[in-house]
Chain A
Amino acid sequence: MSATALAYFTEVPKPVKLLVSLFTIFLCLIAFFGTVKVSQATINGFVTGSYLGLGAMGLTLIMGVMKLVNLAYGDFLVAGAYFTLTFTALGTPLPLSVLLATLGTALLSILAEKLVWLPLRSAGASALQCFLSAIGLSFLIRFAIQFFGGSESRSFDIDVLSTMVLGPFRVGTQQALGFVMALTVFSMLAIGLWISGAMKTMRAVSDNRLLAEVCGIGVGHTIDLTSLLSGLLAGAAGIVYATAVGSFNPNFGLTLLLSLFAAATLGGIGNIYGAMLGGLVIGLSQEWSALLLGAKWKPLVALVFLVLMLLAVPRGIFARAQRRP
């Protein structure tokens, strides 16, 4: 009896197990801390998850299609936030600044592809070369920002203190704004990918580059599209982070990057919807953990998640079935 139950359990797909355990944790937390506190933490978790998810989508695209561990990716998020500051300082209204900053980050991403990654790829560079170039690029972006923008904390020109009261819950206006922005970007991207069919070509290149090339898929175009999209996503994620968290400095890239790795790994590298869900799981875990351990351990949760994920299920929970090459 118990043996069949165990056999049945091992056959349950990983996403279902994840959902069940999340729900169980949710119920346990409610039993301990009460509905209001846990729901509040859950709302915060969704806000955190929204920017982690957006960022992880871009990162997973780069890692899947370009086979590149881009340690500079976190700094593209920072660039998005500081581009927005620059445009607002020039007198552009905030919504337009956000749009321009996202495009600016995409442009930066394409520049990085053309000036750094393309030459390395065509020279058949080793993993070490790619890592060191990524670290170099990360320094260039972070300290260019610090050179022009200073190292002190900055924030967007949004009313920081205002909150919306929804029954027993309070949501900061900035957090709500960030969440709505993330949702908009996500839906636009999903619709765009669905209509254009770009998802299919990216998946093809990600699975087997040579075969994709033989089948007449423009690999070069697909890689250009990937760096464009990942730049857009990084910019958007950085802006949502800056909006939701409130104050930021040029150093938030590296810490956030490791959370993004965690989300992308959880979702299965190359799977962008998996990355979004991974971001939500990490966001919820961080905010729920704050109930148990206090807010100061939040960054550690994502790091521990990342290490455990890589050690236990390196291919992620939402990984597509691997085909033999």
Chain B
Amino acid sequence: MSVDFWINVGVIAGIYGILTLGLQLNTGFTGLLNFGQAGYMAIGAYGAGILVAEAGFSLWLAFSTSLVLSAAVAMVIGWSTSRLGPDQFAIVTIAFAEIVRHILQNTDFSGGNQGLIGFDVEWRSASEWITLLFSGIGLGEYKQIPLLLFVWITFVALTGLMKMLERTPWSRVLRGIRDDETAIAALGKNTLWFRMQSLAIGAALAVVAGFFIALDVTYLYPGIFDPTFTFFGFVILLIGGLGNYWGIMLGSVVFWTLMEGSRLIETSLSATEQASLRFLVVGFLLIVLSRVCPHGFLGNSRGRDHDH
């Protein structure tokens, strides 16, 4: 029981870590306040779910299609918001995520509030096969181990990939946009195109996270893509540190261990009261962290301090 619980915490930490990699690229490296990650995650998860359950696509094909779709949406958002200031951009991204959620809540093709099922048959048979392998070494009773492995291998690989991207001239341009967009534009770079690329990659990472969420909860409903979950990503980002990809791994594990682990504490409070208390702590953490260490615990403040 308890092992299953912690395996699931590991799964969630990995998934939100992947989501936060996108926030790191957008916010930490490009200076774009993207508060719409939950929207891209929803497009990815529902896109894949609908294509499999209703159009009969294979899981991989459905996944790739929704990846492209979500990245294209991000491109359009990046392009259409080119004239907006950072505050207005942030508002548009939240509004976008809420628009996606409202549409999913009220249309027939998404199953509305009842949700969507029946898209993970292929995954479940693969998962059972892996579980069978593990039963050889006595771990056969934990059904979520295949997902845990799958999520974390992807998470580590993607983090490594982002780290490699960080060393490219491409990423230097992004950091330049973050620190002084006008200067980079003056060097002849098309900053709009770079911003759009950053958003598209961020959205693609959100799709991967959304896809794993779909496999984890086995049925999709709009409530999993509440803006609150984007905000969780920002808490993880603050703990892990702005400009630090590997820090996200620690941030996500710390955050979800605290969030979920606190469920195990026996109190006389009701479930609602306990949940509220957890969120109160998150709120307090956000205010204090953003005040005391604006670049996060493990933040990379190199190259930023010179402009003060």
Expressed in whole angstroms, the Cα–Cα distance for A127 and B88 within the complex equals 11
- Find out whether the CB atom of A261 lies under 8 angstroms from the CB atom of B91: yes
0/1 interface trace, chain A 145-185, chain B, CB 8 Å (1 if under): 01100110000000000000000000000000000000000
| A interface secondary structure, majority | helix
Nearest B-chain residue to A261, judged by Cβ: B91
0/1 interface trace, chain B 272-283, chain A, CB 8 Å (1 if under): 110111011011
Expressed in whole angstroms, the Cα–Cα distance for A299 and B91 within the complex equals 16
Q: Identify B294's interface contact among A129, A146, A299, CB under 8 A.
A: A129
Contacts of A143 in B (CB 8 A): 275-277, 279-280, 283
- Find out whether the CB atom of B88 lies under 8 angstroms from the CB atom of A310: yes
Distance from B95 Cβ to chain A, minimum over Cβ atoms (Å): 5
> Contacts A300-B102, A307-B92 given: A150-B279 contact, CB under 8 Å?
no
Interface centre among B83, B90, B94, B284 (most CB of A within 10 A): B94
Contacts of B279 in A (CB 8 A): 139, 142-143, 146
Interface centre among A143, A304, A314 (most CB of B within 10 A): A143
Expressed in whole angstroms, the Cα–Cα distance for A135 and B290 within the complex equals 11
Q: Is A5 an interface residue (CB 8 A)?
A: no
Q: Identify A311's interface contact among B81, B272, B286, CB under 8 A.
A: B81
Among the listed stretches A49-57, A118-126, A221-229, A283-291, which one makes contact with chain B, having 4 or more residues with CB under 8 Å of it?
A118-126
Interface size class of A (residues with CB under 8 A): 35 or more
Distance from B249 Cβ to chain A, minimum over Cβ atoms (Å): 20
Contacts of B198 in A (CB 8 A): none
Number of interchain pairs (Cβ within 8 Å):
123
Expressed in whole angstroms, the Cα–Cα distance for A144 and B278 within the complex equals 11
Q: Is A258 an interface residue (CB 8 A)?
A: yes
Q: Is B227 an interface residue (CB 8 A)?
A: yes
Interface size class of B (residues with CB under 8 A): 35 or more
Q: Is B98 an interface residue (CB 8 A)?
A: yes
- Find out whether the CB atom of B291 lies under 8 angstroms from the CB atom of A120: yes
Nearest A-chain residue to B274, judged by Cβ: A147
Nearest B-chain residue to A297, judged by Cβ: B106
Q: Is A88 an interface residue (CB 8 A)?
A: no
Distance from A107 Cβ to chain B, minimum over Cβ atoms (Å): 19
Contacts of B291 in A (CB 8 A): 119-120, 123, 125, 129, 133
Contacts of B103 in A (CB 8 A): 300
Q: Is A69 an interface residue (CB 8 A)?
A: yes
Q: Is B86 an interface residue (CB 8 A)?
A: yes
Q: Is B110 an interface residue (CB 8 A)?
A: no
Interface centre among A119, A133, A255, A261 (most CB of B within 10 A): A133
Interface centre among A125, A138, A139, A307 (most CB of B within 10 A): A139
- Find out whether the CB atom of A135 lies under 8 angstroms from the CB atom of B234: yes
Q: Is B20 an interface residue (CB 8 A)?
A: no
Distance from A297 Cβ to chain B, minimum over Cβ atoms (Å): 7
- Find out whether the CB atom of A128 lies under 8 angstroms from the CB atom of B95: no
> Contacts A128-B294, A132-B238, A311-B81 given: A146-B284 contact, CB under 8 Å?
no
Expressed in whole angstroms, the Cα–Cα distance for A139 and B284 within the complex equals 8
- Find out whether the CB atom of B33 lies under 8 angstroms from the CB atom of A131: yes
Q: Is A303 an interface residue (CB 8 A)?
A: yes
Q: Is B231 an interface residue (CB 8 A)?
A: yes
Expressed in whole angstroms, the Cα–Cα distance for A258 and B98 within the complex equals 9
Q: Is A140 an interface residue (CB 8 A)?
A: yes
Q: List 13 A-B contacts (CB under 8 A).
A: A125-B290, A132-B289, A133-B290, A143-B276, A143-B279, A146-B276, A151-B272, A258-B91, A306-B91, A307-B95, A310-B81, A311-B80, A314-B83
* Given A144-B280, A151-B276, A300-B102, 8 new contacts (CB under 8 A): A120-B291, A123-B291, A129-B291, A133-B286, A143-B277, A147-B273, A254-B98, A300-B103
Give A residues with C-beta under 8 Å from B.
Answer: 69, 71, 116, 119-120, 123, 125-129, 131-133, 135-140, 142-144, 146-147, 150-151, 254-255, 258, 261, 296-297, 299-300, 303-304, 306-307, 310-311, 314
Give B residues with C-beta under 8 Å from A.
Answer: 27, 33, 35, 80-81, 83-84, 86-88, 90-92, 94-96, 98-99, 102-103, 106, 227, 231, 234, 238, 272-273, 275-277, 279-280, 282-291, 294
